[in-house]
Amino acid sequence: MTTQNILIIGATSAMAKAVARLWAQRSDRLYLLARNETQLAAHAQDLKITGAKSVDYARFDASEFEQHAACVDRAFDCCGKFDVILICHGSLPDQQVCESDVTKTLEALSINGVSVISLLTHIANRMQTQGDGTIAVITSVAGDRGRQSNYVYGSAKAMVSVFLQGLRNRLYRKGISVLDIKPGFVDTPMTEHFDKTMLWAQPTRVAADILKAIDKKRNTVYTPRIWRWIMSIIRNIPELIFKRLNL
Amino acid sequence: MKFSGWGNYPVIEAQEFSPGDSLAVLAAMADLPSNATLIPRGLGRSYGDSALAPRLLNTRNLDYFIDFDASSGVLRCGAGVNLARILQIFVPQGWFLPVTPGTKYVTVGGAIASDVHGKNHHLDGCFSDHIVSMKVATPAAGVVACSPQSNTELFCATAGGMGLTGVILEATFRLKPIGSSMIHETILKAKNLDQALELFEANQTASYSVAWIDCLSSGNSLGRSLINLGEHADDGKFEVARGTSVSVPCNMPSFVLNHYSIKVFNALNYNRVRKPQQKRLRHYESFFYPLDGIANWNRLYGKAGFVQYQFLLPLAAGLEGIRTVLTRIAQSGRGSCLAVLKVFGKGNANLLSFPSSGYTLALDFKITPGIFSLLDELDAIVLAHSGKLYLTKDARMSATTFRQSYPAWETFIETRKRYGADAVFNSNQSRRLEI
């Protein structure tokens, strides 16, 4: 396989790190964006040791919308073109706090939804000009149906998923593939306060699925795969019944 | 949420957090409310309660390679890097771990805190014997670099120190050059314990040696075993094995492993080797990590969990001592699928490190009524022979037993105090053992 240029946004998240490590082992060229520069530097050095052809990085804060375009442009300036752009940033809000605090709700929608759309708008245009490549975004199974335990996060992710559908439709003829990655429960620092059952997966497992889906230019991937079936059931429960459930 | 060690016993309620860098580790120590208890945790592969406390500092985010010198094989990495990843990256380049325990799913920090040993202990010592230096975050002195030459007391307390001196942030250690990812394995069949120990004696120069004992056999065949010897091959092939193939999806009903099923397993295992000596070429994965191929094998013991009992008896006490223990276990009928015997080489200077010259035997016991009184009886036999128990496997020994068998405990407590670690780092185990 020839060397690919990869841009990863939210690069120090557990899933992003795990995928980057797979790319590094293939000797790909990586450009990383994330908020914590100490962790970025450590991650970049690790990827160089494990085989990445080159690793560049810059500080990026998803909440600073006015910086989005410049950050993406600098990445393109550095690498010339990107074969894959992976967007991974996000944060899991406390649903109960959000229910009584509209500021927290809007913050959660902004970071998990609006900021991704802001980035995607700019990235889509750069990729369209480039004429090939893959845009991959980590959303969530939570976006497939609103549930009382998690609907603020879920609606932000649903917004991104619908946006991606439209974008895929728009960019199809331009040779750009758009992948929506829907992980189930993944054992990461973001979810460390949850009790882990059989359904929980490790980031390394999820990373392997993500890489495969990107390589094969898939449209949507549920990871681990069992979530495809779980969510197909959840989506198909009639609302009449669903609203009575404790999910 | 709920946490336990690999033995699924005991289970406690705890909060876990994963600092992203050394500054966050220091902040976590500084912000700790007084009387709160914190202990570092890696992959949770110690069996009992050594990585259990109401607050757990997980090192999963300290998982970066920092530097690698391809000419000398010296690797510097974060404490949260696991051995599986080291193998995955460096075996293809012709390097292997200097010492590896029976699972590759442990972190470097955990390997140091437990001062783990492997099948080559008789020649190469413990994991810590290959460390060039390490950095430890301590409450009183901040981040301290230590090595066998500098800040020696912190080094000797931290290696084997069960996370009780501070948080290991990173370590620099030497990998070992290999000529292949394959191992020449020789399996020798021993009819009983005497023969097994003779065979160990006769094969002292083998790079790797370990024996699987059928601990339910008694009488003339007490201690019948298969002795595995290994040498790195030299064929220039460097392949990393694929991931886990099967998994135990949930806790099995506790009757799955009982006296009879274990007896059958042990008999089949012993009799699968027909000739007194069998040779074959194996991948390092199946030679070193046979159980890693079965994810969550600990669930076979059921919801109540199990304890692993690993003791050491000095060479002088050896044969008779092991025979006494095995006889007592065979009488009780509470068997263990996995009884592993190994002859250790010399010990090191680390205060709480387990291995030293002698014989070590590791056995699993399902948690059942009466098991703890049996283990107390075994403790008495071990102490009577001047032996000791491995802290990494322990979930139940008494403070008195600990103090009698680890004479350096006082120095350890002093060092802990000097670095302010006694006020911050405590595990359920350290509380029980009054360390």
Domain spans of chain A? Answer: 5-242
B341 backbone dihedrals φ, ψ, rounded to 5°: -115, 140
Task: Indicate whether B139 belongs to any domain.
Answer: no
Is B274 among the domain residues? yes
In total, how many domains does chain B have?
A: 1
Q: Which residue of A has its CA nearest to B68?
A: A49
Q: How far is B416 from chain A (nearest CA, A)?
A: 29
Query: Between B320 and A210, where is the model more confident?
Result: A210
B404 touches chain A (CB under 8 A): no
Tell me the mean pLDDT in the region A59-69.
97
Query: Over 90: is that where the pLDDT of B362 sits?
Result: yes
Q: Nearest-CA distance from B168 to chain A in Å?
A: 17
Distance from CA of B237 to the nearest CA of A (A): 18
pLDDT on residue B242: 66
pLDDT of B124: 98
Residue B353 falls within a domain, yes or no? yes
Q: Which of B2, B17, B78 sits opposite A195 (nearest CB)?
A: B2
Q: Which of residues 259-288 of B touch A (CB under 8 A)?
A: none
CA distances from B356 to B115, B317, B387 (A): 12, 13, 10
pLDDT beyond 80 at A45: yes
What is the distance between the alpha carbons of residues B302 and B280, in angstroms, rounded to a whole number?
34
Determine the pLDDT at residue B390. Answer: 98
Residue pair B339/B213 in contact by the 8 Å Cβ criterion: yes
Highest mean pLDDT among B112-121, B273-282, B291-300: B112-121
Instruction: Determine the pLDDT at residue B218.
Output: 80
CB contact under 8 A, A196 and B1: yes
Closest CA to B6 of B392, B426, B273: B392
Contact assignment for A195 to B66 by CB distance below 8 Å: no
| Cβ separation A50–B23 shorter than 8 A | no
Range of lowest pLDDT (B60-69, B198-207, B274-283, B408-417): B274-283
Distance (Å, rounded) from C-alpha A243 to C-alpha B171? 53
- Across the interface, whether the CB atoms of B67 and A49 are under 8 A apart is answered yes
The answer to whether residue B305 is domain-embedded is yes
Own/partner long-range contacts of A173-176 (Cβ < 8 Å, ≥24 apart): A174/A127, A174/A128, A174/A131, A175/A131, A175/A132, A176/A124, A176/A127, A176/A128, A176/A131, A176/A132, A176/A133, A176/A134, A176/A135
Q: CATH number, domain at B224?
A: 3.30.70.2520
Consecutive H or E run containing B386: none
- Position B243 scores a pLDDT of 58
What is this model's ipTM? Answer: 0.90
Closest alpha carbon to B361 in B230, B215, B198, B263: B215
With vertex at residue B277, the alpha carbon angle to CA B272 and CA B282, rounded to the nearest 5 degrees, is: 70
Residue A156, pLDDT above cutoff 90: yes
Q: Which domain range does residue B219 map to?
A: 182-398
Percentage of chain B exceeding pLDDT 90: 77
The model's pLDDT over A117-138, given as tens digits with 9 standing for 90+, comes to 999 999 999 999 999 999 999 9
Residue B366, pLDDT above cutoff 80: yes
Please give the pLDDT value at position A170: 98
Going from the C-alpha of B93 to that of each of B96, B160, B176, B345, B434, the distances in angstroms are 9, 29, 11, 29, 45
pLDDT tier, B60 (very low <50, low <70, confident <90, very high otherwise): very high
Q: Which residue of B has its CA nearest to A200?
A: B249
Query: For residue A112, what are its two tokens?
Result: 């998990």
Cα-Cα-Cα-Cα dihedral sign, residues A101, A106, A109, A115: negative
Q: Which residue in the set B23, B68, B249 is minimally distant from A49, CB to CB?
A: B68
The pLDDT score that the predictor gives to residue B337 is: 63
The C-alpha atoms of residue B284 and residue B97 are separated, in whole angstroms, by: 11
The residue of chain A with its CA nearest to that of B299 is A198
B68: chain A residues, CB-CB within 8 Å: 49
Scan for tokens 């997980």, then name that residue: B58
CB nearest B64 (choices: A46, A192, A194): A46
Q: What secondary structure letter does DSSP report for B98?
A: S
Domain A5-242 has CATH 3.40.50.1360: no
Of B102 and B259, the structure prediction assigns the larger pLDDT to: B102
B97-113, pLDDT tens digit by residue? 999 999 999 999 999 99
- The token duo for B367 is 């948690």
Q: Is the pLDDT of residue B244 over 60?
A: no
The angle subtended at Cα B37 by Cα B32 and Cα B39, nearest 5°, is: 100
SS3 of chain A: CCCCEEEEECCCCHHHHHHHHHHHHCCCEEEEEECCHHHHHHHHHHHHHCCCCEEEEEECCCCCHHHHHHHHHHHHHHHCCCCEEEECCCCCCCHHHHHHCHHHHHHHHHHHHHHHHHHHHHHHHHHHHHCCEEEEEECCHHHCCCCCCCHHHHHHHHHHHHHHHHHHHHHHHHCEEEEEEEECCECCHHHCCCCCCCCCECHHHHHHHHHHHHHCCCCEEEECCHHHHHHHHHHHCCHHHHCCCCC
Q: DSSP label at B257? A: S
A189 and B60: CB-CB below 8 Å? yes
Give domain status of residue B246, yes or no: yes
Can you tell me the distance from the alpha carbon of B252 to that of B306, in angstroms, rounded to the nearest whole number? 12
How far apart are the C-alpha atoms of B178 and B207, rounded to whole Å? 12
Q: Is B163 helix (H, G, I), strand (E, B) or coil?
A: coil
pLDDT band at B397 (very low <50, low <70, confident <90, very high): very high
Across chain B, mean pLDDT equals 93
Query: For the CA atoms of chain A, what is the radius of gyration?
Result: 18
Answer yes or no: is B394 within a domain. Answer: yes
